[in-house]
Each structure stands twice: as C-alpha cells, then as structure tokens.
Amino acid sequence: MPESQPSKKRGGHAYGRRNQQMSNTAEEGELCIYSGHSLGRFSSHSMRYDSHQACTRCVASAREGMLSFDVDRLLKKYRPKALKFWSQVDIGSPDECWNWNGVINPRTKQAQFAWRRPGISSSTQHHPQRVAMWLTWGDLGFTGVKTTCGNKYCCNPFHLIPQNIGVFVDNDTYLESFELACQIHTLKQQIAEYVLEEAIKEEAKKAEKLDAELRNGMLLNPDTQFGDRFEALVTDFLSGAHISQLNPDDSSMFKLPTDNDAENPTDNI
C-alpha cells in the first residue's frame, strides 16, 4: 500500500494555512481596508503576501509593534463595519479582557462576526479576534492570531498577537501610551454615536411600517368615516404617494428586486 501523501490540492479553507510561515513573496491582491495602502493613488489593489493575503504595508507596521484604534484610518466604507464590530465588544481598560458580546454560534460555540471579504476568505463569518486584529494591527488576511490571556472570547488587541510575522510587542509602552488611550476614548464616543444613529434608524423604520399598517387598516375598514378617508387621500396626494400619481412610465415598478441583479450584487460589508 502506498504511503499516504498530503493533499496537493491548493485552496480549500484559507484559514487552514494560518499556522504556516508567511511567504516572502507578494502579489497584487485585494485592496487593503486601510486608506493609503493601495498600489497607487488610483489603484484598487494592494500588495499582499501570497501565503496569507496579508497587506505588506500592514505587516510592516505590525512588525514595528504599531497598533491603532483609530477608525478614521480605515477606508470610509469600512468605518461603519468597524463601529458595528466594536459596539459588540465590551471595551474595558487596556490590561483587562474585552469580552465578545456579539453572536456566538449555538452549534459550535464559536464567537463569530459577519463580514464578506472576497479575495481574502470565502468564509462570511470570522472569529472576532481576527476581526479585532484586522481593525488594530492591520489587514493581515488570515494570519493566525493568539491570545496571551487564553480567553477565547477576548477581543482586546493588547491580548492578541498576530502569529508568524514577527511582531514586536511592547506591552509596557502600550499601557502607558497617551495616544492609544486617546484613540480608545474617541472610539468609545464614535461607538456611542453609531449605536444611537442605528437605534434612530430602527425606530423610523418601525414608525413607517406602523403608519402604513394603520392607513391600510383604516381604508379597508367599511366603518371608516368619510372625513378620515378624505384626510388620508389628501395627505397621500400631498406627499405624492397616491396611486393615481404613480408614473406608468416609471420602469422601477417592473424592475427586479435588487437581490436578483446579478451584475451588481448587494455588497454586504
């Protein structure tokens, strides 16, 4: 019987390669989530080490022990994602564990955060520790990340060390760093604003739905008084929402739902 051979198949689950040493060759890859890390001013690609899809510029700064909580260093389109992520982390003082308050998969008991990262991983769920690494140490692709505290729900970047890329960790400096303390303070304020804005949006959506339900209920009810019907009609007219005001030429009525639009899939970042 021939000796068993490791599978030569490339690909598979990208995270399987996280324990390997980082390659020293880079290729043009997905755009890094940090601004200023593209190949050129108008490029939509970044250089990434081909083994782990880690952005070369992020690796360089991680090796110097740089980490940052500044959401504004990210490209604009990733900032809400970052705030959404941090709003689910119990951010404490730098030397404490910051526990994950978000989704925990009921089957595997693994903490997870949804983020579509085409070109980096086919998985749409990521471990929050990896996401915390991306948002502080850098866009290091599927570089392994280990905790120094052993708490599998801890998302404190000071307790998370990217593996096999040779990071320089200087904990004393981190804990005394005024700049990092300021960044965490600002981040907390931005999270509070984000959470409030999201709550307001949610309330507005609910109110709109309730409004429409009440309106429909009233118009369909045979006991509704003429005055009420008249008022509903006039308000519809004034807001341009009456059925007679719909433009038959408006092709939007015949458009497919956006979900079916293959050319422009809804980007769920």
Residue with tokens 């030569």: 8
Nearer to Zn ion, 138 or 187 (CB): 138
User: What are the φ/ψ torsions at residue 138 (nearest 5 degrees)?
Assistant: 140, 170
For residue 154, state whether it binds Zn ion (rule: CB under 5 A): yes
User: What are the φ/ψ torsions at residue 161 (nearest 5 degrees)?
Assistant: -120, 120
Q: Are 48 and 141 in contact (CB under 8 A)?
A: yes
Q: Which of 17, 29, 31, 34 binds Zn ion (CB under 5 A)?
A: 34
Using the contact rule CB under 5 A, the part of the chain among 23-31, 77-85, 99-107, 146-154 near Zn ion is 146-154
* Nearest-10 crossing angle of helices 128-136, 79-86: 130
Binding mask 122-141 for Zn ion (x = CB under 5 A): -----------------x--
Touching Zn ion, residues 69-108 (CB under 5 A): 97
CA distance 34 to 19: 24
For residue 149, state whether it binds Zn ion (rule: CB under 5 A): yes
Q: Considering the complex, what minimum distance in angstroms separates the CB of residue 206 from Zn ion? A: 37
Using the contact rule CB under 5 A, the part of the chain among 83-91, 148-156, 162-170, 209-217 near Zn ion is 148-156
Nearer to Zn ion, 126 or 194 (CB): 126
CA distance 14 to 142: 7
Nearer to Zn ion, 96 or 236 (CB): 96
Nearer to Zn ion, 151 or 177 (CB): 151
Dihedral of alpha carbons 139, 145, 151, 153, sign: positive
CA distance 48 to 119: 11
For residue 31, state whether it binds Zn ion (rule: CB under 5 A): no
Nearer to Zn ion, 139 or 183 (CB): 139
Dihedral of alpha carbons 237, 242, 245, 251, sign: positive
Binding mask 47-66 for Zn ion (x = CB under 5 A): --------x-xx--------
Residue type, 187: L
Q: Considering the complex, what minimum distance in angstroms separates the CB of residue 101 from Zn ion? A: 14
Count CB neighbours of 243 within 10 A.
6
Instruction: Beginning with the edge strand found earlier in the chain, give each strand of the sheet holding 54-55 in spatial order.
Output: 26-30, 45-49, 54-55
Nearer to Zn ion, 126 or 159 (CB): 159
Give contact residues for Zn ion (rule: CB under 5 A): 32, 34, 37, 55, 57-58, 97, 139, 149, 151, 154, 156, 159
